[in-house]
Amino acid sequence: MELLEQYIREKGVVKKGNVLKVDSFLNHQMDVHLFSEMGREWKRLFADAPINKILTIEASGIGIACIAAQLFEVPVVFAKKAQSINIDGEVYASKVQSFTHKRVYDVIVSKKFLSPDDHILVIDDFLANGCAVNGLLDIIEASGATLEGVGIAVEKGFQEGGKLLRERGVRLESLAIVDAMDAKTGELTFRH
């Protein structure tokens, strides 16, 4: 998506450790105009899918998921990061290895909000090794709901998450795919 690539080129900062900082428009300060355009693009890409719910993960997926949900006219559920001690039989739970914080945490969704009748679009800001999305897919599977697809804002194509999801047959629509980035020069290469 041209507009998102333009934002990344102009405002993104390439950090050491394969981290792309986009906190001026995507996951700290949020550019809602951009989010609307992203939502419209996912709506176009998933036009034929019978999506009735969007699932994301706190915190940075929530903003983009809410704006997309307005266009899809469906509710958003976000998986919460929880202490294991709080996990009871009323929730679906999975473990996620955090890419940015280098630790494992539990994510939970109340059983009240996912059922076999649901057709889910997963949305998140980044796809790196795929741990966050895989955690959400585990939860969807446990609930008996149907996964319709995954919408990602920025996929880092040089990490394996996207490749593994596509190999599994998951319908994955990443609005920008960064195939290479250099922390020294700030140079970015997009896949088209």
Whether 129 has a binding-site annotation, put simply, is yes
3-state secondary structure of 58: coil
Q: Work out how close the CB of 135 gets to ligand 5GP at its nearest, in angstroms, rounded to a whole number.
A: 8
Q: How far is the CB of 15 from ligand 5GP (least distance, A)?
A: 8
State which residue, 52 or 171, has the beta carbon closest to ligand 5GP: 171
Q: Are 123 and 56 in contact (CB under 8 A)?
A: yes
What SS3 state is found at 125?
strand
Nearest distance, CB of residue 178 and ligand 5GP, angstroms: 9
Q: Does 69 appear as a known binding residue?
A: no
* Cβ nearer to ligand 5GP, comparing 48 with 58: 58
Would you say 60 or 143 has its CB closer to ligand 5GP? 60
User: Do the Cβ atoms of 124 and 94 come closer than 8 Å?
Assistant: no
CA atoms of 55 and 61, how far apart (whole Å) = 9
Q: Which two tokens stand for residue 103?
A: 């630790």
The terminus-to-terminus CA distance of the chain in angstroms comes to 9
Is 20 annotated to bind a ligand? Reply is: yes
The footprint of ligand 5GP (CB under 6 A) covers 19-22, 27, 60, 99-100, 124-132, 156, 161
Identify the bridge partners of residue 189 per DSSP, sorted by sequence position: 180
CA distances from 21 to 15, 72, 153, 189 (A): 7, 28, 13, 15
Of the pair 124, 148, the CB lying nearest ligand 5GP is at 124
136 is in an annotated binding site: no
131 annotated binding-site participant:
yes
Are the C-beta atoms of residues 120 and 140 closer than 8 Å to each other?
yes
3-state secondary structure of 110: strand
CB of 48 to ligand 5GP, least distance (A): 26
Nearer to ligand 5GP, 38 or 47 (CB): 38
Q: Is 128 annotated for ligand binding?
A: yes
Residues comprising the binding site for 5-phospho-alpha-D-ribose 1-diphosphate? Answer: 128-132
Residues comprising the binding site for xanthine? Answer: 20, 27, 156
Residues comprising the binding site? Answer: 20, 27, 128-132, 156
